[in-house]
Amino acid sequence: MLQRFLPSSRRDFNSLSEQEILALAISSEEDDARIYLAYADGLREDYPASAKVFEEMAEEEGTHRARLIDLYKKRFGERIPLIRREHVRGYYERKPDWLVRPLGIEKVRAQAGVMEAQAHRFYLRAAQQCEDADTRRLLGELALAEAGHEAKAEELEAKHLPEEVRSAEDAVERRQFILTYVQPGLAGLMDGSVSTLAPIFATAFATQDPWTTFLVGLAASVGAGISMGFTEVASDDGVISGRGSPAKRGIVTGLMTTLGGLGHALPYLIPHFWTATIIAMIIVVIELWAIAWIQKRWMETPWSRAIFQVVLGGALVFAAGMLIGNA
């Protein structure tokens, strides 16, 4: 925020000469082609058809770059100054492929659409700022080309991504999402919600002291989260199983385990024992129903089986906690 009031080494776009505008356009096309090729490399193993789409889009950007270089050499000679988007104030930014690729194929496709729209606006503005007829014509043509890239992308997808291929790639992405995030998160939520019931409610009924119960619940939840997280990381590196990054799975598992336990521990911050206990019981019911819904939604477990498994397990642990607490 303070950068707004400090001197900046960036140039205003309006201050760029026609030579600098062409140099900026050349470097931007180089970056875009490189990003598309990086997308293609990242998608090739699991989404080969989509990788071909991005390879052809990179070729298209290479054609734009060649036309810009030809015009530049005609007007200004062989030496092209190094001007990149980060040197121009207010110029659009590009996310490196490693910030986009892990977010899924649909995210990559959407990011490509944003890139083309930004390039279209750049060429329109650049054309308005130039006076040379040949330069204005080329920039205007490239603006139209970028605007038409959405249709071009659809054409390439129709060529390389028929409906059955796209459906197969979407199924692969969904499976990867389930293996990397849903499965570990569900395991953590189940462990945190169910396994902490016994120590929390045993302490609650044994002491009838909300603060002590909260401390026990907090310790059980955090401890279970750390244990489950490290177990998930150590159990499978994801290379052979295809379950994805062990660090991601470990973080998801640990967080969901902790949240599952804290859900029915936090009510004991209320100083009135029975009020806190009733609210905790309501939250337990909500947690168990949420687990059953996730099993039905993502794991395709039948409702009856999901509810039976979760409710039975939760009821047994809750009963164990009450019996031990009242012993």
CATH of the domain at 10: 1.20.1260.10
**132 and 172 both lie in a single domain:** no
**212 and 238 both lie in a single domain:** yes
**174 and 304 both lie in a single domain:** yes
> What pLDDT, on the 0 to 100 scale, is given for residue 168?
59
Which has more confidence, 84 or 212?
212
Letter for the amino acid at 236? D
Neighbours of 154 (CB within 10 A): 12
Q: Domain containing 30: what range?
A: 2-161
**46 and 147 both lie in a single domain:** yes
**242 and 272 both lie in a single domain:** yes
pTM over 0.75: no
> What pLDDT, on the 0 to 100 scale, is given for residue 138?
92
Q: What is the pLDDT of residues 226-252, one digit of tens each?
A: 988 888 888 777 655 567 778 888 888
Contacts with 265 (C-beta within 8 Å, 6 or more apart), sequence order: 196, 200, 213, 214, 216, 217, 218, 220, 221, 280
125 token code pair: 């503005």
Of 18-32, 71-85, 181-195, minimum mean pLDDT range: 181-195
Number of domains in the chain: 2
**94 and 201 both lie in a single domain:** no
> What pLDDT, on the 0 to 100 scale, is given for residue 320?
66
**189 and 321 both lie in a single domain:** yes
**144 and 7 both lie in a single domain:** yes
pLDDT band at 6; cut points 50, 70, 90: very low
Q: Which of 113, 142, 161 is the last residue of a domain?
A: 161
Task: Read off the pLDDT of each residue in 24-49 and give the average, rounded to a whole number.
Answer: 85
**126 and 204 both lie in a single domain:** no
> What pLDDT, on the 0 to 100 scale, is given for residue 72?
92
Q: What is the pLDDT of residues 255-307, one digit of tens each?
A: 999 988 888 889 999 999 899 988 988 888 888 888 888 888 777 677 777 67
Q: Which of 138, 161, 184 is the last residue of a domain?
A: 161
Task: Read off the pLDDT of each residue in 180-195 and give the average, rounded to a whole number.
Answer: 82
pLDDT band at 171; cut points 50, 70, 90: low
> What pLDDT, on the 0 to 100 scale, is given for residue 327?
57
**174 and 156 both lie in a single domain:** no
**How far apart are alpha carbons 34 and 83 in whole angstroms?**
17
Q: Which of 131, 161, 191 is the last residue of a domain?
A: 161
Which has more confidence, 80 or 169?
80
Task: Read off the pLDDT of each residue in 216-227 and give the average, rounded to a whole number.
Answer: 89
**10 and 78 both lie in a single domain:** yes
Q: What is the pLDDT of residues 116-162, one digit of tens each?
A: 888 888 888 889 889 899 999 999 988 888 877 665 555 555 555 55
